[in-house]
Structure 1
């Protein structure tokens, strides 16, 4: 994640390169040997870390869902009693994911159905909990927003933030800091627009 400063482990290096390659060429378009070459080890050497590509994909998709939920809960707890700060912190955390883990967004969109049923259910369960965490935070700030509308608004904001893999990188685009600020304004603007009471009451 964006806040990490220590060097990644070999396992994490493998997952990062697997995510990049899967996102670029599709799960079936990438071989174990290619993933190994990307991290400087032989393809068979990967089997010391993972049983195969299926295990890598599962760890990537289940892992990011777990990290988003854990990070969201931490952010909400740190801002307990300050609803605006809690919501802003949740938005900031998701923006970090959207900007720094873009291959995982592509993987989720394309490859989720390739997971074993148990892993797919686990991802969906974690995602539901993450959504409900946001719904609670949104309704703290906008109590006039009914729960179904708040949930729809949260999904819409996720769609907005998760659009980042579709961005190219021409010089005319803002840098990361400016893009993060823009996405934050857009997310808050979308939630404000969904609120039936401009005063928030």
Structure 2
């Protein structure tokens, strides 16, 4: 196909071969960047390293991103958007709050264990973002947290909002800290342990604890 024929297809609304290739290269760069940043830290990654990882020169990276900061912003903003979209879908399609909570735990587990590089970058490199990028990530992450808060308080209306946020963040800490230290030979075992621990911790609401007999009463 000639270049002119490719360009004509743009007018009909179909993506061109060139645009598809560029989009794929951009995705490759983001994946490679996440892996390198997770491995070396953001300051330790050069554009030359990133280009080499996908078979292009360092300067060629500028065809896709204006600078290294812009690349990190896109990685972290996209992580936050994916979490928000997934959490929203679980909450909106699961009427029972207890089932919704299990769904949120399962969703976050799948994301964390399936994307360990992204989780590591999210945990370590937030402060490397420029101010505007930090603001966008914070706003999106807060919306994700509020999904968990709403579900937890639907289960136990007596649970203060501040406590529900603490429980949500503690659950993220439990799940997010594990992917890069878990045994890769037993992913299902790791997932099962994390799921049990997360659900047990999230069940420790004031109403649930008040309903349990104390140790002195059962002794």
What's the TM-score, normalizing by structure 1? 0.86
From 82, 85, 103, give the equivalent of 1:70: 85
SS at match of 2:207: coil
Q: Contact 2:120 / 2:180 at 8 angstroms: preserved in 1?
A: no
- 2:195 maps to 184
Q: Which moved more, 1:62-71 or 1:107-116?
A: 107-116
**CA deviation map 1:143-178 (0-9, x unaligned):** 33222211111111111111124415365xxx2223
What stretches of structure 1 move > 6 A for 4+ residues in a row? none
For 1:15 and 1:54, locate their aligned partners in 2 and report how far apart those are by CA, in whole Å: 12
- 2:175 maps to 161
Q: Which moved more, 1:162-171 or 1:43-52?
A: 162-171
Q: Contact 2:37 / 2:45 at 8 angstroms: preserved in 1?
A: yes
Matched, 1:10 2:21: no
Structure 1: runs of 5 or more not aligned: 1-7
- 2:61 maps to 46
- 1:137 maps to 151
Q: Contact 2:145 / 2:168 at 8 angstroms: preserved in 1?
A: yes
Residue 25 to residue 92, structure 1, CA distance change in 2 (3 Å): same
SS at match of 1:198: helix
Q: Contact 1:102 / 1:165 at 8 angstroms: preserved in 2?
A: yes
Matched, 1:197 2:212: no
SS at match of 2:125: helix
- 2:74 maps to 59
Q: Contact 1:36 / 1:46 at 8 angstroms: preserved in 2?
A: yes
Over the aligned positions, Cα root-mean-square deviation in angstroms equals: 2.1
Matched, 1:19 2:34: yes
Q: Contact 1:69 / 1:130 at 8 angstroms: preserved in 2?
A: yes
Shift of 1:199: 8.3
Residue 126 to residue 200, structure 1, CA distance change in 2 (3 Å): farther
Shift of 1:142: 2.6
Higher relative contact order (CA 8 A, sep 6+): 1
